[in-house]
Amino acid sequence: MIKAKSLSRSRFGSVDRRRFLAQCAGAAALSGVASRAFADDPLDALMDDGRAGQFGQDFDQASRTVHMPKATAPMLSPATEQFTQKAIAAYDEIVARGGWPTVPHVDELRVGNRHPSVVDLRQRLSLSGDIDPNAVAAANDTYDSYVEAAIRRFQARHGVTVDGVLRASTLAALNVPAAIRRDQLKVNIARLKTLTTNLGPRYVVVNIPAARVEAIENDVAVSRHTAVVGKVDRPSPDINSKIVQVNFNPFWTVPVSIVRKDLIPIMQDKPDYLTDNHIRIFDPNHKEVQPSEINWYSDDAVHYTFREDPGDHNSLGRIRINFPSQYGVYMHDTPLKNLFGEDFRYDSSGCCRVQNVQALVVWLLDGTKGWTADKVEQAIKSGDQVNVNLTKPIPLHWVYVTGWSASDGIVQFRDDIYSRDGLGAPAIPATTKL
């Protein structure tokens, strides 16, 4: 069984989990599935800024000619393969014309700055269709509102913090050669051909490289969630399954792999850790034993069951979503909400943590008799263990797609975090936060 998150960092490391829990306390209750879920995603933040006119006072109507993304366009739908094929043709033309220029190094640029690199930056953004053509005619070295808006769009397309500021992570993504981006799309078209058939009217997609979850209904993304997925050395697997059950206030049973890799070393250093973190030990006869009865300098511990009690401290948070798979993984809540604010969200041991998971559960239970949004809220607040079987299981797809074009025609790329594309594309530095 694969653990839902990396205990070596989040639970068994030096980070004080309770400090994080205190910071997360008081989170607002569910107030609507789509509105809350879309607020989690950088792409949607970009569009919200656009609708609110927050690209700067000088951002005029001409810039509206740049096609903006649609929050409701699902990453995986029957249209994805077709639009990605069109994107490949467009990138073939870019490569045939010599690609785009490398943007010279600069520590940071924002609105109002002047720098020679901005001239190349404008040209780079023009060739990828991110900036209004009217903003490229002259050799302008001012980082104005046109450039800021283009950077926001670029950042959203590449899963980087959407703030309109040019930093290391955005610069690294800008300087991936056009040929690699084209080849990335070609690698992914083969994946999409097997993924975009027989999807059905309602399904859930976890795109692992994007660390994002989408609930799709009638080819519309009705709910979108930031996620935390598997670390490079403990990757999340590709899965085709069906969501069959939701657990409220679940126990967490520590997988043997986590006991061996993480729990034994930490108990050698901190003998009170299990007691302090509400994790109880049971022998093969289901009799509870004390930590002092186990030899932590041997493999004895792998023969015991370690179970964490429900509660705000629980590694699974208040909700777990179950589905059959050979990997023993699941989707769940987490007390460590701060991790959703990072660009680099590859921190679990294979499972998928879901931001605003309550909204997703409301959507999943639509059609399961008696399970309204209010009932979900009550179940969580009760603190009692409640298991709900879905009346109609929902198809679930965990996929590895690093380059695609959705039905809105916007081409998107993500870092090849598990090095499965075989292209040697450079990793985007994980130095900034959402």
Q: Which helix (H) or strand (E) holds 202?
A: strand 202-207
Phi/psi at 242 (5° precision): -140, 135
Is 352 an annotated catalytic residue? Answer: no
Is 351 an annotated catalytic residue? Answer: yes
Q: How many CB atoms lie within 10 A of CB 354?
A: 28
63: tokens are 């810039």
Distance CA 177, CA 19 (A): 42
Active-site residue identified among 158, 225, 332, 397:
332
Q: How many CB atoms lie within 10 A of CB 285?
A: 5
Active-site residue identified among 158, 351, 352, 397:
351
Q: Taking a C-beta distance cutoff of 8 angstroms, is the pair 400, 420 a contact?
A: yes
Distance CA 394, CA 326 (A): 18
Burial 225-246 (b: 16+ CB within 10 A, else e): bbbbbbbeebbbeebebebebb
Q: Which residues, 6+ apart, have CB-to-CB distance to 212 below 8 Å?
A: 41, 75, 206, 224, 225, 226, 227
Nearest to residue 23, comparing CAs of 301, 314, 311, 336? 336
Just list the catalytic residues. Answer: 332, 351
